[in-house]
Structure 1
Amino acid sequence: MVGHASVLIQTGGLNILTDPVWSNRASPLAFAGPRRVTAPGVRMSDLPPIDAVLLSHNHYDHLDVATLRQLQARHAPRIITPLGNDSIIRRHIPDARVETGDWFDRFDIAPGAQAHVVPALHWSSRGARDRRMALWGGFMLQAFGRTVYFAGDTGYGTGAIFRNLRARFGPVDVAILPIGAYAPRWFMAAQHTDPDDAIQIMLDLDAKAAVGMHWGTFKLTDEPWDEPARRLTASLRTGGIDAAKFIAMRPAETAEFE
């Protein structure tokens, strides 16, 4: 876990980053906006060679140009992202290797490893005039006989999109799911899951294990910084689910899955 929605996935010799943000603020401004309250769990200089970046959408806490510049200079990774986000990246990093796709488009990362862009219940914008002008989504990573789901940002809605993903891709080995930035619920429910929603997504996907992200790094909404992890533990207990099946990872923590 790097922090927030930034996770380093290592499988079959590949190193894949999700929504990498190393900046101190999730903002277009260096002096204002949500400030980082935990240091990145991996220093940029300590990263292994990065093969690909899975970038879910263009909000500042997910698409960070300063971080992408550093990654380009050090690793020149492939950046796979939903439609429209390439224009933002190439405006700042002309030589970036960006590939875009619609929901359910497939990208071959390496022999035996594919990333599929999948739907999410969310939205996009970088400013006042570009709302929904670029696509948003999550990713289903199928690599060497294992399936990893990275949700990006999403609401739960009726749950149909997650049940459909289970039907399309089969059971998921590891689901990386957002558990924070959910309060007040009347406003955030349509766009961000809370711990109870995330548990239901895990069940809908028939996931063997889940990792909680999107909490504890940037103060974006009203809940206390550590409440998502506490609520997740309590809801797992109430539901009779083994707490080891769904872990709320903190920056610098690692987890291995069979």
Structure 2
Amino acid sequence: MNGQLAVTRITHSCHLIEIGGWTLLTDPWFSERPAHHPGEPIASSVADLPDLDAVLISHHHYDHCDLEAFASYRDKDVPMIVAAPVVERARKAGFRHVRALYPWESTRLDDRAGRGELTVTAIPARHKVYEVTFVVQGGGQTVYFAGDTLLVPELKELAGRFPDIDLLLVPTNGLRLRPLFNRQVVMSAQDAATLTSWLKPRVAVPHHYAYTSGRLGDRLITKSDRDPQNFVRAVHVTAPGTDVRVIAPGERLTVGG
């Protein structure tokens, strides 16, 4: 095992992942808009981010793909590994190395510092818009970043393809859209616990739960579960061998090692 595995939560589904000596950012969100609020602090500005080896973007919704704010990031050559609809948006934001990954497709990042290989694999997902999620492997460690997907049958394949997941980052708010007859578009705490039971990761960290559409938006547009402890309780029943950790924005969690 090379390098420490750690995750720092910035907000919502935006994390810094340190794996095998590499540092990646997931689903950047660094600003707010009317009816789009993280519901918790944003723990870092774009300017304060460390040097990144890659950025992963699961889909083009603003709260996962805040390219207007992230365009100020200093290195426009940072590799961007994204869902297909994000490609042109990222290029228009000035990023020069943008690649779409499709479900079960993998890419390897070039190493310039003797850290070994880093592999990113796109995983099937389902949301209101097209989405992929990501498995990241490096230094003998594996992370699954589940974006804000629903629980879909294809995710059962993960257990066979990636039998030793060290860290699961998983959405839990069960977001529903009131104007669409309460259609569910994100997995719930119980769904996320079911996924945890399928994958049996060493550690599971919930995300995508504090989000709010504002006082009026929460009453008229969205409906969600904002308590991550519902996931904690569900995992204790369905996957008692997994350590569940709820981490606050700005908190860094080291996994094993």
Fold match (TM-score > 0.5): yes
Give distance in 1, aligned partners of 2:175 and 2:95: 36
Give distance in 2, aligned partners of 1:222 and 1:82: 26
Distance 1:96 1:188, change over 3 A: farther
- 1:179 and 1:193 in contact (8 A); partners too: yes
1:182 to 166, 170, 175: 175
Distance 1:95 1:140, change over 3 A: closer
State the 1:76 CA deviation: 3.7
**1:84 counterpart SS class:** helix
Give distance in 1, aligned partners of 2:225 and 2:206: 16
State the 1:176 CA deviation: 0.6
- 1:216 and 1:250 in contact (8 A); partners too: no
Aligned to 1:165: 158
Give distance in 1, aligned partners of 2:50 and 2:120: 20
Aligned to 2:122: 117
RMSD: 2.3
Distance 1:148 1:33, change over 3 A: same
Identity of matched residues, %: 24
Aligned to 1:132: none
Residues 158-213 of structure 1 show CA distances to partners (whole Å, capped at 9, x for unaligned) of xx212211111222111110012534797343x21111111111111121111101
Distance 1:212 1:138, change over 3 A: same
TM-score by length of 1: 0.81
Give distance in 1, aligned partners of 2:43 and 2:194: 28
Correspondence 1:40-119 to 2 at 5 A? 40-71=42-73, 73-74=74-75, 76-90=77-91, 92-109=92-109, 110=111, 111-119=116-124
Give distance in 2, aligned partners of 1:239 and 1:106: 30
Distance 1:149 1:238, change over 3 A: closer
State the 1:6 CA deviation: 0.1
Q: Which runs of 5+ in 1 are unaligned?
A: 26-31, 125-134
Give distance in 2, aligned partners of 1:86 and 1:184: 27
TM-score by length of 2: 0.82
Give distance in 1, aligned partners of 2:14 and 2:193: 20
Aligned to 2:188: 194
Give distance in 2, aligned partners of 1:183 and 1:113: 35
Give distance in 1, aligned partners of 2:190 and 2:47: 36
Q: Which runs of 5+ in 2 are unaligned?
A: 1-8
Aligned to 2:232: 233
Which residue identity does 2:229 align to in structure 1? R
Give distance in 2, aligned partners of 1:85 and 1:58: 6
Distance 1:5 1:188, change over 3 A: farther
**1:204 counterpart SS class:** helix
1:203 to 194, 197, 200: 197
Give distance in 1, aligned partners of 2:102 and 2:162: 17
